[in-house]
Amino acid sequence: MTTLTALRVPAEAAEAADGQVTDAHAVPVKSPFAKKAGKPARTSCPETEIAHGGVPRARQYLGVVIKCLDKSWGAYFARAGWTFRKPVVRYYDEPAGTVCGGPWPGEAAVFYCPGHSTIVFPLTGRWIENRTDLYPFKVAAHEYAHHLQKLRGLRPGAERSGEPKRRYELQADCLAGVFLGSVWHSLDRGDQDWEALLDATRASGDEEDGRHSHGAPASRASWLKRGYLAVSPSACDTWSAPAAAVD
């Protein structure tokens, strides 16, 4: 499969209004993903066609990825002895006025509503339309990671910015990398595709003059790669990482 040059897109992750209730501002003593659970099992998750297919293809593509995420993380949580529940997934042809009990967060391409355990996917926009790279796959895995964080007792604080928020978001990047590493063998992708994904991830990093909430371009790519290489959630301890690693 071919790749596209990485596009500059809005930060893909946000939390709708219902998520402004808990405790990422109180940095946990340790990551909620313990070493005892080991690594997710290698599973297969072949991609479906997405480019030039419009909304129907986009929905089909994301649906397949979500099923893979359900299977992989469900088995991992079961092995760890942790409670697992699948997230609710909502698809919209275009942004709506309200979602999850609040206004649509206009700055985000895709987002997770912690209070409703819901991942929201708009099926249009630069993040997914006419793309042949792995960016939509990674975005789905990142938002799913926010659901995993919630299941382990971690949700974003009301401030939505600052170092604790970046640690929260960068952990989701790392967990997305873990999933990618566990299914990479089943993807019809090569080294160029991986490098293109790193470029796209850097392009979605915080801008110098913008809100510093998701991590600098280099930090986002670094944590994604860390999870991908380790294929273990225990490698995603952004909470004890030095400040320079989560800038």
pLDDT of residue 53: 80
DSSP label of 15: B
User: What pTM did the predictor assign?
Assistant: 0.87
pLDDT of residue 25: 42
pLDDT of residue 187: 97
Give the residue carrying structure tokens 């339309």: 129
Contacts of 244 (CB under 8 A, 6+ apart): none
Q: Please list the pLDDT of the chain residue by residue as tens digits (247 residues).
A: 322 222 234 444 445 544 333 344 455 657 899 777 889 999 999 999 898 888 999 999 999 999 999 999 999 999 999 999 999 999 998 878 888 988 888 666 789 999 999 999 999 888 998 899 999 999 999 999 999 999 999 876 644 568 888 999 999 999 999 999 999 999 999 999 999 999 999 988 666 545 667 888 899 999 999 999 999 999 999 999 999 999 8
